[in-house]
Every structure is written in structure tokens, then in C-alpha cells.
Amino acid sequence: MRNISDTIARLSAMRGRQGTSHDDYADRLSDVTGYGSNPGALRARAYIPVNMPENRALVVVLHGCTQSAAAYDHGSGWSQLAEQEGFAVLFPEQQRANNANLCFNWFVPGDTSRDSGEALSIRQMIEALVVAHGLDRNRIYITGLSAGGAMAAAMLAAYPDVFAGGAIIAGLAHGSASTIPEAFDRMRGHGGPSKAELQKHLREASPHKGPWPRISLWQGSADTTVVPSNAEAILAQWQGVHGLGASPTRVETVDGQKRQVWCDGDGRELVERYAIAGMGHGTPLKTNGDDGLGHAGPFMLDAGISSTRHIARFWGIAAAGARRQAKTDTASAAPASGTAVRTYKPEEKPRAVRVEPAHEPAPAARGSSAGITKVIEDALRAAGLMR
């Protein structure tokens, strides 16, 4: 087993080889406060397109180790795509007090179990934004890279009733590790639960009985940090709950990369997997051309295919054609009558904001920050997310 310091040193060395840090970009995100008890002590950041109407989708994006929410957004282009397509994006952010290397604690049962720790903090953030902006509860999605991908897998396991879909990039299966030594062993492809045990972990992580979220898996074939066998474990886990066979329904080539798809009896795509030939550890990007998105950098790898854009298309929240102009219907349309919309313009300096309800509070509380907080807290309690 490789020790922890060795693995972190390798990650740092890779970061140095892959180029400069993201310190020279404009931060497009805004802070969000007032979203609950936050037992995992995470920071919440968000991007909401200008004049976004209600009933839009929400994408939750989890960064990898050594990254910030803003850095991952800059690289992946999620806020750019949100602006083009008209959906909201939530970026939970890890703090050094929780993990010195800014990794989400995806292997700690107290942080990945339903209604506890970091998992509950993320769930509270989601609920608060849904209430504040009138988002569509049937279109909530989650994605992440590396430790963020593993945490996304944990969230999908703990809250399958919340998410319509998920995307795991160079991540690990839920329940594959519960200690730091096990976590590093699994990253290297050593040991781990059997296929049946992994499926049992997923089924028993919540009282949910289905339907299950749709899953998109992305993995570099040359990844030596989180080796490709982890993608196999995640695939087996979700094939089990979806009742899918081992063989894909079809195999195709997309932007020069192999895509495997598993469908149900009605032909609906439930699981997809991309194996990016020759790619190491990171999020695959396509930064150039008409449909270019994001920026290459440490762990953000220009592989000629945009995982961000293809994941959004798989979920059905982005156009399947060429890149649309930033001036979209949702960006130019006036909000519906009576709709309260929080706008975060990209050119504005990010500022701390408190989530507000999409509908006005009762007259006695109107204009009162305490009243706004009460609306959010009441919604969290109603959802069982606060005592």
C-alpha cells in the first residue's frame, strides 16, 4: 500500500507538470449563506443565470483534491454552460479545516451517510436553492472529479430520491472504503468489496426503492491516481440497481472516444461510460472550436471531448447541437410575474449572499432577514434536514 504522503506528493507533482494554477482567472461564483445547520462545515457557492425563470434544473458540482470550486468551474465550464442553457449550478467547497488537501471525505461514514456530515451539508444547500429559486425537484443532478466524483457517488447512494442523474469522473464506488488506508488502496486498485457487496452497499444506503438516477461514467485509460478498475466497480454497482446486464446495449464513437450505453427495455439510456484513450487523471475537456468549453489546467485535460457538455446532454438539460450563443432564451426572457430571481452577473465581483425564497414570505416577515431565514429553515425542517 502506498502511504498518504506519497500519493499527495504525486498529485502535487502532477499539478506542477500540467501547468500553472488557476489563480489568474475571474471567479464567476457567488457565496451562499443561510442554508441550514451545515454539519459538514462546507462552503456553498453558486451560479444562477441572469433572470432565470423558475422550474429550471440544478447541477451540483464537486471539485477534486487541491482544487477550489472556482478553479473547477473555470476549468470545466459549468457556469458557462449554465448561462447558455439556463440552469442553476451549486458548487459545494471543501475547507482545509475538514481536509488539509481540500478533498471531500468520501470514505468517512460520518460524512457520506444519509443526513449526516458533509452529505447533509450538501443536501441542505440543494434544498435551500430549490426553495429560493423555485427550481425543478425532478431535475437535480450531481457530478464531480476524483474525490469529488467519489463524493458524488456517495450522494447518489445516500439520496437517490433527490437526484435524476449523476456523473462520476475518475471517482470511486460508494462503500468501497471506510478508512484512509482503504481509500488509498482502492484508488490504486487493490482489494475492495465484491460486486455483490457493492450493490448491497448502494441499495442499503437509503430507504429508497427506485427509480434510480441515470449515471454517466468517465475515466482515463492511463489514470494511475484513480485506476480504471474503479470505473468498473462503479459500473457494476449501478448495473445491479438498474437491473442491467454486463454487455452494453450499444457501443459507439463520440468525438473520437469510445462510448458504451446500457438501456432499459424501452430503449431509455440509463448508464453510459466513456473510456478516454491515453488520458491520465482529470476531467476531459474540449476547449477549442465552435463547441469549446472551459480551460485546460491541472487535472483539467484537453482531450478533444467535453465531458461537461456531453454529461449535460445525457441528462437532457443541454442542446444536442452545436454550441449556442451566450444570449439564450432564458438569458433574455423576462421573469414570470411574481417570480423573485437572484441574479449573479459574470462581470460583477462575487459577493456574499443569503438565499431567499422564490415566493415572498408572509407579510409579518417581509423585508426581515430573520423572516427569510425562517422560510428556509422551515423548508429544511419539512424535508427532515434540520431539527
Domain contains 233: yes
Q: What is the mean pLDDT of the chain?
A: 84
Predicted TM-score (pTM) of the model is 0.82
Rounded average pLDDT over 273-295 = 96
pLDDT at residue 232, rounded to an integer: 97
Catalytic residue among 146, 176, 216, 307: 146
Eight-state DSSP code of residue 335: P
For 320-339, what is each residue's pLDDT tens digit? Answer: 743 333 333 333 222 232 22
pLDDT tens digits, one per residue of 46-97: 999 999 999 999 999 999 999 999 999 999 999 999 999 999 999 999 999 9
Report the SS3 class of residue 117. helix
Give the number of C-alpha atoms closer than 13 A to the C-alpha of residue 6, restricted to the C-beta side. 9
In a 10 Å sphere around its CB, with 0-12 CB exposed, 13-18 middle and 19+ buried, how is residue 20 labelled?
Answer: exposed
The pLDDT-based confidence of 381 (bands split at 50, 70, 90) is low
Predicted local distance difference test score (pLDDT) of residue 199: 96
- Interior/surface letters 288-301, b for 16+ CB within 10 angstroms, e for the rest: eeeebbbbbbbbbb
User: Could you tell me which of 69, 82, 122, 95 has the C-alpha nearest to residue 317?
Assistant: 82
* CATH classification at residue 319: 3.40.50.1820
Considering its fold, how many domains does the chain have in total? 1
Q: Is the pLDDT of residue 126 over 90?
A: yes
Distance of alpha carbon 179 from alpha carbon 186, whole angstroms: 11
Region 153-178: mean pLDDT is 98
Distance of CA 124 to the CA centre of its chain: 15
Grid cell 475547507 in the structure block, residue: 95
362 HSE (CA, 13 A, CB side): 9
Q: Give the model confidence (pLDDT) of 236-281 as tens digits.
A: 999 999 999 999 999 999 999 999 999 999 999 999 999 999 999 9
Q: Hey, what amino acid is at 73?
A: D
Which are the contacts of 204, defined by CB distance < 8 A and separation ≥ 6? none
Domain-located, residue 378: yes
d(CA 2, CA 191): 13
> Is 344 within a domain?
yes
Q: CA-based angle 198:7:24, to the nearest 5? A: 105
Report yes or no on 7 lying in a domain. Answer: no
Residue 20: inside a domain, yes or no? no
Integer Cα distance of 319 and 192 in angstroms: 39
105: containing domain: 27-35+46-382
pLDDT for residue 21: 44
pLDDT for 320 equals 73
pLDDT surpassing 60 at residue 346: no
pLDDT for position 373: 52
> In this predicted model, what pLDDT tens digit does every residue of 10-26 receive, in sequence order?
544 444 444 434 457 88
Does 198 fall in a domain?
A: yes
**Residue 67 contacts residue 80 (beta carbons within 8 Å):** no
Residue of 138, 148, 137, 191 whose CA lies nearest to 170: 148
Give the Cα separation of 118 and 83 in Å (integer). Answer: 28
Q: Between 277 and 319, whose confidence is greater?
A: 277
- Please spell the DSSP secondary structure of 138-179, one letter per residue: T-EEEEEETHHHHHHHHHHHH-TTT-SEEEEES---TTS-SS
User: Would you state the pLDDT for residue 10?
Assistant: 52
- The C-alpha cell that represents 344 in the structure block: 449573479
DSSP 229-290: HHHHHHHHHHHHHHT--SS-SEEEEETTEEEEEEE-TT--EEEEEEEETT--SSEEEB-SST
Which CA distances in Å does 6 have to 3, 12, 206, 248? 5, 10, 35, 37
Closest Cα partner for 79 from 93, 69, 65? 69
371 inside domain: yes
* Cβ atoms within 10 Å, residue 333: 12
- Does the annotation mark 146 as catalytic? yes
In a domain, 298, yes or no: yes
Cell 444570449 belongs to 327
